[in-house]
Amino acid sequence: MQNKMTKNPWFVILFSGLFYWLAHSLTRPLIALYAQSLGISEVKIGFIVGIYAVLPFLLAIASGGMADSIGRVKVLRIGTILMLVSGIFYMIATNIYLLMIAQIIAGLGQMTVWLVIQVLITDSNQNQAERIASFTVYNTIGQMMGPLIGGFLAEKYSMNISFGVYTAFSVLLVLLAFQLKEPATNRIDSGTYSIKDMYTKSFALLKNREIIATLLCTFIALFILDVRMTFLPIYLQDIGISPFKIGILISLGTSTALFIKPIYPVLIRVLGIKTLLILTFAISLSLLFITPLINHFYSFVLLLVFSGIALGINQPLSLSMISEQTSSNERGIAVGLRLMANRLAQFMDPILFGILTAVIGIKLTFILIGLLLLLLSVVTISLLQVKERKRKVPSLKEKVL
């Protein structure tokens, strides 16, 4: 088995994505509920959920550069070990301070693991749309099953048992990471690469409007996903829906991405990136605008399936955009920038949601956050339109010729 996995790194990468999302999706909806069970206020819950993203936001670029520099597999192994350590802290977190420590370590470990997996998956341009679509299927299975497992165990036994299963998935990730070997093509001369170089290269990438549009795209998608994973469960619990049914709803929202694999390459070819973005923004934002208007379980089933399709397209779409705009030796830093946008969303979402909920209530907060993200969506599409116009306008030299 070990020889088979060593010879087939694609197999290891796919299953690493699966176990990563099983672990991440299992705990993410439970953190706010667990903090609530400890008697922690909504504002402090927002801080606890948000602190998960602080170090990843600050270190995403450096981690991407490190993956390009010292070796991607080496960085992946460090990340999986950090996830394992965070699982131990989750299991013993009986107060706000231990829970915060668990969140900080989990945030750093999960960011590192997810960054490297994405870099490895986009490392080859051969059949890339199909590869990303296959990768999305494995991720979706993890995103779908994680909340179901976590919700069932939390309701039937306790949240500590759920955290124990998260730790077990982290162990599997460690074992998989040590099956991978570092290809020579995945490294550059580490002695000539510095943190200053990483940030210089990052700022150079940010001069590209399409890179900025990609970062905004992933920020918006992750913001909505994080609302779905953290504050939607609180709203659902407030209207009387049980933890297991909450897990079912979140799993349904992610399971729709399974249908993306056969149609994603076709959608890219037929509609193009800009049109596809407009559609996915419009549909995914419905989750925020419609949630406060309904309170029936089956209404939420329809809403989460409908919005889940759009969010399922949005994630591989932003990866395709990153891959198109960067070369292989820039990929680690580019994915680091993308993860930086992700973690900024995961930091701002709980802080904004916690404060606004305390001031205006959770229903109005959903709508206000929806309006803010709608504005950002318009800006994202505008950036792509400006880029398209520039491509269509011939230069003076071309006019003369």
Residue 208 DSSP symbol = S
Give the DSSP per-residue string, 243-300.
HHHHHHHHHHHHHGGGGHHHHHHHHHHHHHHHHHHHHHHHHHTHHHHHGGG---HHHH
Residues 119, 8: Cα–Cα separation, whole Å: 17
Domain for residue 166, yes or no? yes
Q: Give the percent of the chain with pLDDT over 70.
A: 82
Domain for residue 195, yes or no? no
- CATH number assigned to the domain comprising residue 132: 1.20.1250.20
Residues 185, 82: Cα–Cα separation, whole Å: 26
- Cβ-count burial 137-152 (b if 16+ within 10 Å, e if not): bbbbbbbbbbbbbbbb
pLDDT per position as a tens digit, 363-401: 999 999 999 999 999 998 888 775 554 544 444 444 333
- Give the per-residue pLDDT at 53: 81
- Give the per-residue pLDDT at 397: 42
SS3 390: helix
Residue 159 neighbours by CB distance under 10 Å: 21
Domain for residue 187, yes or no? no
- Give the per-residue pLDDT at 330: 64
- Give the per-residue pLDDT at 217: 87
Residues 6+ apart with CB under 8 A from 157: none
Domain count within the chain: 1
What is each CA distance from 22 to 13, 49, 135, in whole angstroms?
A: 14, 18, 14
Once rounded to an integer, what is the mean pLDDT over residues 347-355?
84
- Give the per-residue pLDDT at 186: 52
Residues 70, 186: Cα–Cα separation, whole Å: 9
Domain for residue 56, yes or no? yes
| Model confidence band, residue 301 (pLDDT cutoffs 50, 70, 90) | very high
pLDDT per position as a tens digit, 247-275: 888 888 877 767 776 777 787 778 877 78
pLDDT per position as a tens digit, 3-51: 544 456 777 888 898 999 999 988 887 888 888 888 888 788 888 888 8
Q: Indicate the average pLDDT of the chain.
A: 80
pLDDT per position as a tens digit, 153-210: 888 888 889 999 999 999 999 999 998 877 655 554 444 556 666 667 777 777 778 8
Residues 136, 117: Cα–Cα separation, whole Å: 12
pLDDT per position as a tens digit, 111-131: 889 888 887 876 655 565 667
Domain for residue 60, yes or no? yes
Residue 87 DSSP symbol = H
pLDDT at 108 over 60: yes
Of 99-108, 316-325, 326-335, the range with the lowest mean pLDDT is 326-335
Domain for residue 191, yes or no? no
pTM above 0.75, yes or no: no
Once rounded to an integer, what is the mean pLDDT over residues 207-216?
82
Domain for residue 88, yes or no? yes
Residue 395 DSSP symbol = P
Closest CA to 368 of 381, 349, 342: 349
What is each CA distance from 83 to 97, 330, 339, 374, in whole angstroms?
A: 18, 26, 17, 34
Residue 80: which domain range? 2-181+202-394
Q: Give the percent of the chain with pLDDT over 90.
A: 24
Residues 6+ apart with CB under 8 A from 260: 133, 136, 137, 140, 309, 312, 313, 316
Q: Which two tokens stand for residue 354?
A: 């916690």
- What is the phi/psi pair of residue 161, to 5°? -65, -40
Residue 268 neighbours by CB distance under 10 Å: 18
Residues 231, 357: Cα–Cα separation, whole Å: 10
Closest CA to 9 of 236, 184, 183: 183
- Give the per-residue pLDDT at 135: 79
Q: Which two tokens stand for residue 100?
A: 């915060």
Domain for residue 344, yes or no? yes
